[in-house]
Amino acid sequence: MKINNELKIGLAVVLAGVVFYLGIRFLRDLPLFGQATVYHTELVNSNGLAVGNAVVVNGVGVGSITEVRLILTGAYITFSVEEDVALTEGTTASAGGFGFVSSVQLNLTLGPPDAPVYEPGSLIPASNQSDVLADLTDRAPAVLGRIDTVLTGSSQAISAARDLLTGPESQMQQTLASIRNSAGAFEAVLLAEQGSMQAVLKDIEQLAITLESFAGDSLGGAATALKEVLVRLSMNLDLLETTTVELNTLLASINSGQGTLGKLVTDDSLYVEAHAASAALRRILENFEENPNQYLRHLKLIDFF
Amino acid sequence: MIRVENVYKSFAGRPVLQDVSLTIHEGSTQAIIGRSGSGKSVLMKHIIGLLQPDQGRVLVNHTDIGKISYGELRKIRRQFGVLFQGGALFDSMDSFENVAFPLRTFTTKTDQEIRQEVQTCLDLVQLSNVGSKSTSALSGGMRKRVALARAIALRPRYIIYDEPTSGLDPETSNTINELIKNLAHHLEITSIVVTHDMHSVLQIADHVAFIHNTRMHWTGTTEELHQSTDTVLRSFVKANEYVIGAQH
Amino acid sequence: MPQVVLRVAKPFMNIGRFTILMSSAFMSLRELKTYRQNTQIQMVRIGIESIPIVALAAAFSGAVTTVQTAYQLVSPLIPPKIIGAVVVPSLTMELGAVVTGFILSGRVGARIAAELGTMRVTEQIDALEAMGLNSIGYLIVPRVLAGILMVPVLYVAACVIGVLGGVAAAELTGAVSSPEFILGAREHFDIFGPYFGLIKSFVFGFLITAVSCHIGYFTEGGADGVGRSTTRAAVMSCVLILIADLVLAILLL
């Protein structure tokens, strides 16, 4: 009787303990026995990943998240995967699965199968795809900076040209040549910049599409900010186009000898001014071509967001 | 020696004991008699500290049991054996286990020793083969005898009987009375018998205390009881004799 | 004391008496060695012997939750695996502990009150005390300990059997396949759920046994009183479980 009771209680307690332990491991999708392999990753934005969320490879659950910690540069995630899943070098991690019905999960994109396997406990790099915002942060200031500089240059060229044309000038031939030089240089810069701008714009468009495919709440603010950037960008480009058209018209009219050209030929002092202006324009353009980063450096994304 | 000194006790404002004093001498058999509800059971519970007096004190071997810790009180209680009115056998155990219970709890005796001891106790109450019987299968008299065997299992210094013969037929009552007498003699126990059965009192007691209307009305020896002229006491004794007569 | 004052004071007196009783029980824990065997017996009675009825109730709770969740999921946009994600946390966080608690209120609470009540009115408790035994230690400590230790065990059993009942019902009604059920449960699994349930079951185990012991221990008035105590113990246990359930949810969630 006495031993019987002890046995019953002992069995029940041990069994309950084991079942509780195994049940939790089962529901967390951890291997029931043995140690799961633990890895870490750092995401800029965890998108609401929580302890217990699934770790997924090609849509198949292979483990779960065991710890989510806030760090200065984002979220530090510790997760475990089944022992037989080999995380080869080149594997990247990203947070995914937004929406109301499916829950957040940590997606792993495996590296090439013949690459060496990551040691347990190593830091799996975050994939670029998940870093939409980081991407944007890197690229947007470059794009905007370049465009702004181009616009500054073109406006200056135009005002210089205007000044030149409204004042009377005796040495017509020189002036015209000077203007032609400046305008030619300007046009060359514009053409070169247009090519690179086109590429940058395509890039941004691509980014926007990627971004739109994420509908999570956490991205809402960033998306709005990005939209603003794009709006601003297109406004600037419109302005650039108008300016260029204007400039072209002006130059065409000078070439054909019409308009205010008569006045321009009669004033000496204005010639000097026009000369100086065109020199200044040339300096700016040269400087810009040589050293564009100097103009871009201070244009950080933070100013626009 | 047990001394009850000027004890007052009331329940929910109603007095049950008022200025009750009593001295019980070592080796004597003290009867406490009185009508039902006169407070004699309450007095009995004061003696083993199941109830604490509102006023006054109870001394067991010169120790005031109202002034000691619960642990100390329990040590003193182990010198007592108590036979409760209904036997108060533990119905979760069989008869043998009931008698063995105090031995298992308070001694370090082996199973073999306990078995022997239980058998001795059962022999003393003239029950030999009820050991494995469930307590609910026992008759009233047998229950009391098993309870008595349990009360004496630890060889107490004092034994308290609460209405030992109530609810029993006269013959069984006589057997129980004989037992009480024998035990007192055999084990040299100081006995306290709380009863309203005068027949029992006259058979076994050498000192009598009569509680009437919550007060100690009369105390004395059994001989003095016969010669007493106290009308209340006489009418109580007489009423009892009438009942006894009717029973025979 | 006037009747009205008594009426108002009674609940407080009960709480006071309960607190004193429990602190006495706590104080007598150091004599636990003496009550070891009794604790074992109570663990078997409260724990082991309750497994069948708790299992039955849990299996049906799991099955009913599954069927009703499936019934309420009318939108084709919601995948059926959500059923698993609803049923499993319901069982681990709420039903596992509360259903076990209710079953035990009737089974264990009433039994404890009846046992102790009978022992009180037949002077068995007085007999224990008169022998020099600590009746609180002997009668109450083993029961409350058994409750605290065994109800969590029953809770685990209830959860496992409840989930199995849910899976079975899902398969039988064709609402969702068991792999999908498990998938949903895993995707939305919150590690705190089982621990929360476990905490609840500790609390319920204490409440049921302690309150029933209190009511049984202070039974008055013969067989009738025992009957009253039995009913009161079952009802009080249920009520306290409901209150504790809410309080714990507010405190811990």
Q: C156-198 pLDDT, tens per residue? A: 999 999 999 999 999 999 888 888 888 888 878 888 899 999 9
Banded pLDDT at A129 (limits 50, 70, 90): very low
Q: Indicate yes or no: CB of A6 within 8 angstroms of CB of C41.
A: no
Q: What are the residues facing A126 on neighbouring strands?
A: A93
Task: Decide if B106 touches C, using CB distance below 8 A.
Answer: yes
Q: Indicate yes or no: CB of C194 within 8 angstroms of CB of A105.
A: no
pLDDT on residue C91: 93
Minimum-distance CB partner of A52 among C150, C160, C190:
C190
pLDDT, tens only, B9-42: 988 888 889 999 999 988 889 999 888 878 888 8
Which chain C residue lies closest to B12 (C-alpha atoms)?
A: C1
Q: Is the pLDDT of residue C58 over 60?
A: yes
Q: Which chain C residues contact residue A24 at CB under 8 A?
A: 191, 194
Distance from CA of C23 to the nearest CA of A (A): 26
Superfamily of domain B1-79+159-165+190-248: P-loop containing nucleotide triphosphate hydrolases (3.40.50.300)
Which chain B residue lies closest to C34 (C-alpha atoms)?
A: B105
Does B have 3 or more CB contacts under 8 Å with A? Answer: no
Neighbours of C49 (CB within 10 A): 15
Least confident of A129-133, C55-59, C122-126: A129-133
Give the percent of chain B with pLDDT over 90.
Answer: 20
Question: What CA–CA distances, in Å, run from C251 to B20, C246, C247?
Answer: 55, 9, 6
Banded pLDDT at A131 (limits 50, 70, 90): very low
pLDDT, tens only, A198-232: 665 666 566 555 555 544 444 455 555 555 656 66
Give me the total of CB pairs closer than 8 Å, taking one residue from chain B and one from chain C: 53
For A83-168, where are the E strands, in sequence order? 92-96, 105-109, 123-124
Which 195-234 residues of chain A touch chain C by CB within 8 A? Answer: none
Which has the higher per-residue pLDDT, A267 or A279? Answer: A279
Distance from CA of C180 to the nearest CA of B (A): 51
The kind and range of the H/E element at B3 are strand B2-11
pLDDT on residue C240: 95
Minimum-distance CB partner of C123 among B77, B88, B102:
B88
Which has the higher per-residue pLDDT, A235 or C65? Answer: C65
Query: What's the mean pLDDT in A131-160?
Result: 59
Query: What's the mean pLDDT in C220-237?
Result: 94
Banded pLDDT at A125 (limits 50, 70, 90): confident
The pTM score is: 0.69
Which chain C residue lies closest to A102 (C-alpha atoms)?
A: C187
Q: Is the pLDDT of residue A71 over 50?
A: yes
Q: Indicate yes or no: CB of C186 within 8 angstroms of CB of A29.
A: yes
- Specify burial of residue B71 (Cβ count, 10 A radius: 0-12, 13-18, 19+): exposed
pLDDT, tens only, B51-110: 999 999 999 988 999 889 988 999 899 989 999 888 889 988 888 889 999 998 888 889
What gap in Å lies between CA B219 and CA C96, rounded to an integer?
66
Banded pLDDT at B143 (limits 50, 70, 90): confident
DSSP C43: I
Binding partners of B (≥3 Cβ pairs within 8 A): C
Q: Is the pLDDT of residue B245 over 60?
A: no
Distance from CA of C129 to the nearest CA of B (A): 7
| Range(s) within chain B of domains with CATH label 3.40.50.300 | 1-79+159-165+190-248
Task: Decide if B77 touches C, using CB distance below 8 A.
Answer: yes
What gap in Å lies between CA B223 and CA B227, rounded to an integer?
7
pLDDT, tens only, B108-121: 889 899 999 898 88
Minimum-distance CB partner of C78 among A19, A53, A101:
A101
The whole-chain average pLDDT of chain A stands at 66
Q: Is the pLDDT of residue A106 over 80?
A: yes
Contact, B99 vs B153, CB < 8 A?
Answer: yes
| Domain coordinates in residue numbering, chain A | 36-129, 269-304
Torsion angle of the four alpha carbons C102, C103, C106, C111, in this order, in degrees rounded to the nearest 10: -130
Distance from CA of B152 to the nearest CA of C (A): 10
DSSP B66: T
Q: Highest-confidence range of A88-92, A191-195, A242-246, B24-28, by mean pLDDT?
A: B24-28
Distance from CA of C240 to the nearest CA of A (A): 25
Question: What CA–CA distances, in Å, run from C171 to C74, C81, C195?
Answer: 18, 12, 28
Which 47-86 residues of chain A touch chain C by CB within 8 A? Answer: 50-54, 61
Closest to C208 in 3D by CA, of C110, C136, C66, C87: C110
DSSP B137: G
Q: Which chain C residues contact residue A54 at CB under 8 A?
A: 186-187
- b/e per residue A18-28 (b: at least 16 CB within 10 A): ebbeebbebbb
- Specify burial of residue C191 (Cβ count, 10 A radius: 0-12, 13-18, 19+): middle
